[in-house]
RNA sequence: CGGGAUGUAGCUCAGCCUGGUAGAGCACUACGUUCGGGACGUAGGUGUCGCAGGUUCAAAUCCUGUCAUCCCGACCA
């Protein structure tokens, strides 16, 4: 591609409405343009990156034995009514009517359509297992689209759906997809983790999200430094209390703490760190009463974990002030486990404390030197808190750090939810009708592009990983219009590189060097060959690596083989 | 949907408070000089001042409504 014939529009200034770096750079580099909120045009350069990602996804899906098909974006409402999601899905589902007043949706996902395909096409267990996939535009009417293409309303997604005769086959298909996803993201050069996720309301036994690690990510995840363990922050378990705590060394005492309601105030006033204090939270119980949850002062309650505990109302609800007063005789800020009559559940970490500080269950009073077993009964314990950096990994290897991630893929075992609701059946070996199990596996293709930029950029612009760069090599000429030698050399290299099957972009514009270099860095083409009279005279052309910043030389008569060597690894 | 903010040239923004016939930089076009790190000069084009009402002799500016966009919260690839 010759840049002189390619209307790129790069901008020095950052558009005001772009918040995250990938959005800013995609706009500045001219990869995308906004058409409406969360809806973007991919300009040719941007589309090339999308196609590169697609190609890798397609190759690995094919390698895993999945079959590509293409389903319609517009789907009849009847299918959604059949699955029950016409009512369930809510306003994120874009609904519309045709001229005959028939109802349709613009597909946010394709479980209904694929299940319809399956019930028509699959007749025998002998056709199982099978995995269908497509790479297709989805539309989700997000409440708040943001971050450009990262959370758009219309986005390109690879979605796959597998059908299985039994659990073992489903598990096998799921594992194959996990392998395929791992290969894809590795090939794309992304730093990612497979994260244990909640199976949520969909049910099923296994679910993992693929998260690209980036500070701008919307999800908090806990990752181990000892192995590949990673989980959503809310889902990572904390270590159980091992039964040993330091011996009590202080007497139980009550101290006046007027006006100090927060852990921060108490620890400042008494000169103890927050991890020597406990906080007591009163939540509504499932039996109409209340339950006290006790955590270490520096820890955070995890609502998902708490509401799973017997006796605690789900969804979790903090008790209101009158109920707290009735149950404890005091107001929030001075609560403690001492003398409480309601059920008390203590987080493992709080249970491990000795000589701790807690509220005195009286306004403006705290207790110090409190010890389980001496001043209080041995506690009823549970995992109540979010993991924090430094906690041991649940995998048993390494310690956890809290990172942020961008969810680019999600795989899960669906079970029979859709096949049952939509009566997709096949005949089993005995000639009886059976309902196959399903798995589903998504990748946000366009989101991957944004995530890759989040992870690969510097102050000058994008730094594409080779496999998903719009172009692999950039030929950058200096003095283009005045030097015939430069033109001749560059034209020849352009042809040769193309013939060698290398994706080459040729900046043959009659622009000043500064402009060309700046654009090269903004666009982030990984390998740049600079062609100037100086280099030609010396027989050696300049090679620049966008990522390493390395500035080397290549023999002018061996550019193609030298580059091929560079690209090989 | 709740909270916050913004709409003026393709982009970044000034002008609005205090109404008087619309500006800068970047980008774009032509010519000249320049040419290995976002050049300079000369000339040039560019706007229903988001939209609709209202107030006024006069509205980008004041008032009302409306639409759009962005940011913060609950959802998702």
pLDDT at A204: 55
- Find out whether A205 and A166 touch, Cβ atoms under 8 Å: no
Q: What is the mean pLDDT of residues A284-310?
A: 87
Q: Tell which residue, A101, A91, A71, has the closest CA to residue A143.
A: A91
Q: CA-to-CA distance for A290 and A340, rounded, in angstroms?
A: 11
- Find out whether A162 and A173 touch, Cβ atoms under 8 Å: yes
CA of A16: nucleotide with nearest C1': B12
- 3-state per-residue secondary structure call for A535-568: HHHHCEEEEEECCCCCEEEEEHHHHHHHHHHHHH
Please give the distance of CA A459 from its chain centroid, rounded to a whole number: 24
Q: What is the mean pLDDT of residues A549-561?
A: 94
Q: CA-to-CA distance for A152 and A7, rounded, in angstroms?
A: 25
Q: CA-to-CA distance for A355 and A373, rounded, in angstroms?
A: 11
Q: Tell which residue, A279, A329, A334, A273, has the closest CA to residue A301.
A: A279
φ, ψ of residue A112 to 5 degrees: the values are -65, -45
Q: CA-to-CA distance for A454 and A218, rounded, in angstroms?
A: 12
Percent of chain A scoring above 70 in pLDDT: 99
Please, what is the end-to-end C-alpha distance for chain A in angstroms? 24
Q: A118-126: which pairs have CB atoms within 8 A and are 24 or more residues apart?
A: A118/A161, A118/A163, A118/A419, A118/A424, A118/A436, A119/A419, A119/A422, A119/A423, A119/A424, A119/A425, A122/A163, A122/A424, A122/A426, A122/A436, A123/A426, A123/A427, A124/A426, A124/A427, A125/A165, A125/A426, A125/A427, A125/A428, A125/A429, A125/A434
- Å from the A262 CA to the B64 C1': 47
Residue nearest to nucleotide B27 (CA to C1'): A11
CA of A515: nucleotide with nearest C1': B38
CA of A551: nucleotide with nearest C1': B36
Q: How many CB atoms lie within 10 A of CB A431?
A: 7
Least confident of A120-124, A414-418, A523-527: A414-418
pLDDT at A310: 84
CA of A478: nucleotide with nearest C1': B36
Give pLDDT tens digits for A272-283: 998 999 999 998
Question: Rounded to two decimals, what is the model's pTM?
Answer: 0.88
Average pLDDT, rounded, for chain A: 91
Give pLDDT tens digits for A471-501: 999 999 999 999 999 999 999 999 999 999 9
- Å from the A508 CA to the B57 C1': 59
Residue nearest to nucleotide B5 (CA to C1'): A17
- Find out whether A520 and A528 touch, Cβ atoms under 8 Å: yes
Percent of chain A scoring above 90 in pLDDT: 67
What confidence category does residue A13 fall into, taking pLDDT thresholds of 50, 70 and 90? confident
Distances, alpha carbon A10 to alpha carbons A3, A45, A464, A514, in Å: 12, 11, 17, 13
pLDDT at A199: 56
Q: What is the mean pLDDT of residues A538-565?
A: 95
Q: CA-to-CA distance for A180 and A256, rounded, in angstroms?
A: 62
Q: What is the mean pLDDT of residues A502-513?
A: 95
Instruction: List chain B nucleotides near protein: any atom < 7 Å from a Cβ.
Output: 1-2, 11-13, 25-27, 34-39, 68-77
- Å from the A568 CA to the B35 C1': 36
A69: its two tokens:
């098909």
Q: What residue has token string 């990172």?
A: A403
Sign of CA dihedral A424, A111, A137, A447: negative
CA of A157: nucleotide with nearest C1': B77
Q: What is the mean pLDDT of residues A508-520?
A: 94
Residue nearest to nucleotide B77 (CA to C1'): A444
Distances, alpha carbon A495 to alpha carbons A52, A503, A568, in Å: 22, 11, 20
Q: What residue has token string 């649940």?
A: A394
- Å from the A74 CA to the B51 C1': 32
- Å from the A169 CA to the B58 C1': 80
pLDDT for A399 beyond 90 = yes
Q: CA-to-CA distance for A393 and A402, rounded, in angstroms?
A: 11
- Å from the A289 CA to the B1 C1': 32
Distances, alpha carbon A241 to alpha carbons A14, A18, A349, A381, in Å: 51, 46, 7, 8
Q: E strands within A100-191? A: 103-106, 130-139, 154-164
What confidence category does residue A201 fall into, taking pLDDT thresholds of 50, 70 and 90? very low
Q: What is the mean pLDDT of residues A10-21?
A: 87
Element (H, E) at A408: strand A400-415
- Å from the A139 CA to the B13 C1': 34
CA of A197: nucleotide with nearest C1': B76
Residue nearest to nucleotide B72 (CA to C1'): A144
- Å from the A359 CA to the B10 C1': 63
Burial annotation A289-307 (CB, 10 A radius, 16+ → b, else e): bbbbbbbbbbbebbbebbe
Mention every residue, 6+ apart, whose C-beta is less than 8 A from residue A234.
A198, A302, A304, A305, A386
- Å from the A13 CA to the B50 C1': 23
pLDDT for A171 beyond 80 = yes
- Å from the A181 CA to the B68 C1': 39
- Find out whether A295 and A347 touch, Cβ atoms under 8 Å: yes
What confidence category does residue A146 fall into, taking pLDDT thresholds of 50, 70 and 90? confident
CA of A18: nucleotide with nearest C1': B70
What confidence category does residue A557 fall into, taking pLDDT thresholds of 50, 70 and 90? very high
Task: Let me know the angle formed at the C-alpha of A495 by A490 and A501, rounded to the nearest 5 degrees.
Answer: 125
pLDDT at A202: 47
- Å from the A103 CA to the B72 C1': 35
- Å from the A546 CA to the B11 C1': 26
A393: its two tokens:
């990994």
Please give the distance of CA A80 from its chain centroid, rounded to a whole number: 27
pLDDT at A203: 47
Residue nearest to nucleotide B25 (CA to C1'): A13
pLDDT for A330 beyond 70 = yes
pLDDT at A258: 87
Mention every residue, 6+ apart, whose C-beta is less than 8 A from residue A256.
A364, A365
Residue nearest to nucleotide B37 (CA to C1'): A514
CA of A146: nucleotide with nearest C1': B70
pLDDT at A205: 65
CA of A412: nucleotide with nearest C1': B77
Reported ipTM: the value is 0.89
Mention every residue, 6+ apart, whose C-beta is less than 8 A from residue A524.
A29, A456, A457, A461, A462, A463, A464, A469, A546
Q: CA-to-CA distance for A7 and A472, rounded, in angstroms?
A: 19
pLDDT for A198 beyond 90 = no
- Find out whether A440 and A159 touch, Cβ atoms under 8 Å: yes
Please give the distance of CA A156 from its chain centroid, rounded to a whole number: 16
């Amino acid at each position: 591609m010759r840049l002189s014939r390619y209307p790129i529009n790069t901008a020095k200034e950052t558009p005001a409405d772009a918040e995250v770096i990938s959005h800013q750079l995609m706009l500045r580099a001219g990869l995308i343009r906004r058409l409406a909120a969360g809806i973007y045009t991919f300009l040719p350069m941007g589309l090339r990156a999308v196609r590169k990602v697609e190609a890798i996804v397609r190759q690995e899906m094919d390698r895993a034995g999945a079959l590509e098909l293409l389903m319609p974006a517009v789907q009849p409402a009847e299918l959604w009514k059949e699955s029950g999601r016409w009512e369930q899905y809510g306003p994120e589902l874009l609904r519309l009517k045709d001229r005959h007043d028939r109802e349709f949706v613009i597909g946010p996902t394709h479980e209904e359509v694929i299940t319809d395909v399956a019930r028509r096409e699959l007749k025998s267990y002998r056709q199982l297992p099978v995995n269908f996939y497509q790479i297709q535009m989805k539309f989700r009417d997000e409440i708040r689209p943001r971050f450009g293409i990262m959370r758009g309303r219309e986005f390109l997604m690879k979605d796959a759906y597998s059908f299985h005769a039994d659990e073992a086959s489903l598990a096998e298909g799921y594992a194959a997809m996990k392998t395929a996803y791992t290969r894809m993201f590795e090939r794309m050069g992304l730093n990612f983790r497979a994260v244990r996720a909640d199976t949520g309301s969909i049910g099923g036994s296994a679910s993992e999200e693929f998260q690209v690690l980036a500070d701008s990510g919307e999800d908090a995840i806990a990752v181990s430094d000892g192995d590949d363990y990673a989980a959503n922050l809310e889902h990572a378990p904390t270590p159980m209390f091992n039964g040993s705590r330091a011996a009590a060394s202080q007497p139980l005492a009550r101290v006046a703490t007027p006006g100090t309601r927060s852990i921060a105030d108490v620890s400042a006033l008494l000169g103890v760190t927050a991890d020597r204090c406990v906080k007591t939270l009163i939540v509504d119980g499932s039996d109409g009463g209340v339950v006290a949850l006790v955590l270490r002062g520096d820890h955070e309650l995890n609502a998902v974990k708490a509401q799973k505990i017997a006796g605690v109302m789900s969804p979790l609800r903090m008790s209101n002030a009158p109920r707290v007063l009735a149950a404890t005789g005091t107001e929030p800020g001075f609560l403690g486990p001492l003398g409480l009559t309601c059920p008390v559940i203590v987080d493992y970490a709080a249970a491990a404390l000795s000589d701790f500080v807690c509220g005195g269950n009286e306004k403006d009073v705290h207790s110090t030197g409190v010890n389980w077993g001496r001043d209080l009964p041995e506690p009823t314990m549970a995992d109540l808190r979010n993991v924090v950096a430094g906690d041991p990994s649940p995998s048993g290897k390494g310690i956890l750090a809290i990172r942020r991630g961008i969810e680019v893929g999600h795989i899960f075992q669906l079970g029979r939810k859709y096949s049952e609701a939509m009566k997709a059946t096949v005949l089993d070996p005995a000639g009886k009708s059976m309902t196959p199990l399903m798995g589903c596996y998504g990748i946000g293709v366009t989101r991957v592009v944004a995530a890759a930029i989040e992870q690969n950029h510097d102050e000058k612009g994008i730094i594409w990983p080779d496999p998903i760069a719009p172009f692999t090599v950039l030929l950058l000429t200096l003095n283009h219009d005045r030097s015939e030698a430069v033109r001749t050399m560059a034209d020849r290299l352009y042809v040769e590189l193309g013939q060698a099957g290398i994706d080459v972009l040729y900046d043959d514009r009659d622009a000043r060097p500064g402009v060309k270099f700046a654009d090269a860095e903004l666009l982030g083409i990984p390998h740049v060959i600079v062609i100037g009279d100086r280099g030609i005279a010396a027989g050696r052309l300049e090679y620049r690596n966008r990522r390493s910043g390395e500035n080397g030389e290549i023999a002018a008569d061996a550019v193609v083989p030298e580059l091929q060597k560079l690209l090989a690894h």
